[in-house]
Structure 1
Amino acid sequence: MTVTDDRAAVEFRQSIDMDSELERLLESAAVLSYDPDQEIDWDKPLDPHKYGLNPEWSTLYGTPLWDRMTEQQRIDLTRHEVGSIMSTGIWFETMLQSMVLRSQYSADYGDPEFRFALTEIADECRHSLMFSKTCSKMGVPHYRPRRLFHELARVFRTTATGEMAYSSILVAEEVLDIMQRDWMRGENVLEEVRTTSKIHVVEEARHMKFARMEIKEYLEGISKPRRHLAAFVISIVAAIIVDSLVNDDVYANAGLDPEEAKAAAKSNTHHQNLMRMSCVHLMDFLSEVGLLTPSAMRMYRTVHML
């Protein structure tokens, strides 16, 4: 930030009493945090009749191919899909931890912001561990993003700061939030997925509030060119995250013809509408803070977030 930006950020922080908000988030973390090893019985056999996620959230639900699939193929597919989504979550959480820790490198170690940032990192470590163990328990591969995306993300996590870093964090968390709110209530969903979803939803609510506060602080008083550049970069990150959620290999691993399945998923308007629904609150926030520019909107539309 420039000197002017720093002054604006300080004034913004004082105007909303950010320290009090952060103390409340820390109090919430002390009361509403979970140990996955206490909440989940990792040795209990999987229920063979339960889906990995609500069938309605499958990328093939609502297509003629879905109608032709056997019940076992549907169960297998949703387990691979949720495994891919969890693996993508781990991938992004490692980036998130790196960006948050870097943002606090020169922080005041007595500041509530520093303490909450480290609390968030601790939460994300537990989330990654529980996602990893859930994938292993389901017997699905630990899916990885495309090599190009993996390498681009390596650069981004090393260089992203300020509003770009925290907006990217918010995007990833918001996209998963609506999905997991459905999964945690799904009576036909694996208990392990329901529990991990509940833990993630509850603890990420704090993280999303923190990210919104940080974004507003960083955006206070910035120039129009910087705001437009940030909006476009964030939209690219969002598109990569959404495109990476369900790996193409899930279809072959579920016993389906991969080319037919990929074509069906690509044209599935039901799933596209669910994605737009998931992103309504995110788009409202980005619009509110001036990060929903025309170029960013075009990018969001390519992955059906808008």
Structure 2
Amino acid sequence: MSEPDDSAPLYGELLESARRLSFDLRGGDTGAGTESDRHGMTPEWSPLYGTPTWHGLSEPERRRLTRREVSHFLGVAIWLEVALQIVLLRRNHGVDPTRADVKFLFNECADENLHSLMFAGAIEQLGERYSPLDRVMLLMGWLFRTFAWDEVAYGIVLAGEEVFDVMQRDWSIDDRVAPAVRRSSHVHVVEESRHMSFARQKMRDRLRGVSRVRRYVSAVLIAVGAHIIAKGLVNKGIYRDLGLDWRTAKQEIDRNEHHRMMFRRATAPLVEFLDRERLLNRVARAVYRKSNLL
């Protein structure tokens, strides 16, 4: 599919921005397990924050909890970024590599690989380990990278990026958070702003002139993808590893209005964009409400 002429200047501007402001934190590790005296993320972003279980934990236990949780969050981010690359590189294999949008795509994939290395390094510096994803996420990841078409791929990844963007803006400026997470959050926020602009424009390009049926189906699939990402951020293995009762923890998370409020705040920019692009039909709205994202 050829690139719409009116979008080429934007892609060129994004590529120029990448030349002027990019980071590479490879080789910046200070040693594994050296940041146990800090939270893994801003405590208010813990799904358990404010619950009876949270209040029953000592401060060192709360720090350990947030380090385990953020390690899982970063693992989900890596999973999402790898899946995006598979989809987009497959769909752009053999196209004109001198097109402005394709050149920026190559730059984005380079960024995403460095982000994955950066997040893996942050997990190690926290002294934590990667938490395996559940089977539903693994299955949906396979379906996504195998069958997703352009606006669905960009929309699902945009949903994940918008959530991480809002969360990491908080983490990057919070002195309670481990330096490895603060550094990686700052880099991710700066570089993902370009990626999100790219994804939004690509979605506009692909939706131009499509049928009402395709727009409807795409809207629902993007909502389902966002739902899976949001629910996948809560991993029962984390809480069991810490000796917490999973059934109690799950009930408290599900009822935690603070947790819902934080995630609605995180997805507010996404919801505004989807509404503007007519990607919030009745079914999609119901899915976002079920995910506590609307």
* Residue number among 19, 27, 50 corresponding to 1:30 in the alignment: 19
CA RMSD of aligned residues (A): 1.5
**In 2: Cα distance, 1:42 partner to 1:246 partner:** 28
Does the CA-based 8 Å contact 2:159-2:270 persist in structure 1? yes
* Residue number among 87, 111, 131 corresponding to 2:99 in the alignment: 111
**In 2: Cα distance, 1:170 partner to 1:152 partner:** 16
Amino acid in the other structure paired with 2:14: L
The reply on whether 1:235 has 2:243 as its aligned counterpart is no
Point out 4+ residue stretches in structure 1 off by more than 4 angstroms: none
**In 2: Cα distance, 1:44 partner to 1:219 partner:** 46
**In 1: Cα distance, 2:179 partner to 2:34 partner:** 8
Aligned to 1:195: 183
Amino acid in the other structure paired with 1:236: V
Structure 1 residues 136 and 44: CA distance shift in structure 2, 3 A:
closer
Aligned to 2:246: 258
* Residue number among 211, 214, 235 corresponding to 1:247 in the alignment: 235
Does the CA-based 8 Å contact 1:251-1:258 persist in structure 2? yes
Name the SS of the counterpart of 1:163 in structure 2.
Answer: helix
Does the CA-based 8 Å contact 2:35-2:126 persist in structure 1? no
Amino acid in the other structure paired with 1:296: A
Aligned to 2:115: 127
**In 2: Cα distance, 1:207 partner to 1:35 partner:** 16
Per-residue deviation at 1:137?
2.3
Q: Residue by residue, what CA displacement relative to the aligned partner does 1:187-235 show, whole Å, maximum 9, x if unpaired?
A: 1000000001001111100000000000000000011011000001111
Structure 1 residues 265 and 108: CA distance shift in structure 2, 3 A:
same
**In 1: Cα distance, 2:209 partner to 2:75 partner:** 37
TM-score by structure 1 length? 0.92
Q: Gapped runs of 5+ residues in structure 2?
A: none
Q: Gapped runs of 5+ residues in structure 1?
A: 1-5
* Residue number among 200, 204, 226 corresponding to 1:212 in the alignment: 200
Name the SS of the counterpart of 1:94 in structure 2.
Answer: helix
Aligned to 2:58: 70
Does the CA-based 8 Å contact 2:119-2:184 persist in structure 1? yes
Moved more, 21-30 or 216-225: 21-30
**In 1: Cα distance, 2:169 partner to 2:120 partner:** 20
The reply on whether 1:98 has 2:113 as its aligned counterpart is no
Percent identical: 38
Per-residue deviation at 1:46?
2.2
Aligned to 1:3: none
TM-score by structure 2 length? 0.96
**In 2: Cα distance, 1:138 partner to 1:289 partner:** 40
